[in-house]
Amino acid sequence: MVSLLGKTPDELQEVALEAGLPRFAGKQLAEWIYVRRATSFDEMTNISLRGRETLKARYTIGRHAPVAEAKSTDGTKKYLFKTPPLPPLRGRDRSDSGDENQSEGQYIEAVYIPEDDRATLCVSTQAGCKMGCKFCMTGTLGFHGHLPASEILNQIFSIPESATLSNIVYMGEGEPMDNIDEVLRSLSAMTAAWGCAWSPHRITVSSVGYPKGLKRFLDESECHLAISLHNPFAAERQQIMPIEKNHPIKDVLELIRGYDWTRQRRLSFEYICFGGENDTPRHAKELLRLMRGLNCRVNLIRFHAGVDQGFPASDEQQMVWLRDYLTMHGLTTTIRRSRGEDILAACGMLVNALQKEP
Q: Which residues lie near ligand SF4 (CB under 6 A)? A: 129, 131-133, 136, 138-139, 173-175, 208, 228, 348
Based on the residue annotation, tell me whether 109 is a catalytic residue of this protein.
yes
Query: Do residues 14 and 26 lie in contact, with contact meaning Cβ atoms separated by under 8 Å?
Result: yes
Residue 142 burial (CB < 10 Å; 0-12/13-18/19+)? middle
- Rounded least distance, CB 37 to ligand SF4, Å: 28
Residue 91 C-beta: closest distance to ligand SF4, Å: 19
To the query of whether residue 273 is one of the catalytic residues in this protein, the response is no
Distance of CA 125 to the CA centre of its chain: 5
- Name the minimum Å distance from CB 238 to ligand SF4: 13
Q: Looking at beta carbons only, is 12 or 229 nearer to ligand SF4? A: 229
| Whole-angstrom distance, CA of residue 327 vs CA of residue 232 | 17
CB burial string 86-117: b at 16+ within 10 A, e below: beebeeebeebbebeebeebbbbbbbbbbeee
Q: Which of 122, 223, 273, 347 is catalytic?
A: 347
- Give whichever of 3 and 109 is closer to ligand SF4, judged by the CB atom: 109
Residue closer to ligand SF4, measured from CB, 135 or 198: 135
Instruction: Give least dist CB 273 to ligand SF4, A.
Output: 15
Catalytic residue from among 14, 104, 109, 115: 109
Decide whether 208 or 345 has the Cβ nearer to ligand SF4: 208
3-state secondary structure of 265: coil
DSSP single-letter state for residue 80: E
- 336 vs 301: CA distance, rounded Å: 5
Report, in Å, the least distance between residue 347 CB and ligand SF4.
Answer: 8
Three-class DSSP category at 255: helix
CA separation for the pair 218, 259 (Å, rounded) = 8
Residue 206 vs 333, nearer CB to ligand SF4: 206
Residues annotated catalytic, as ranges: 109, 347
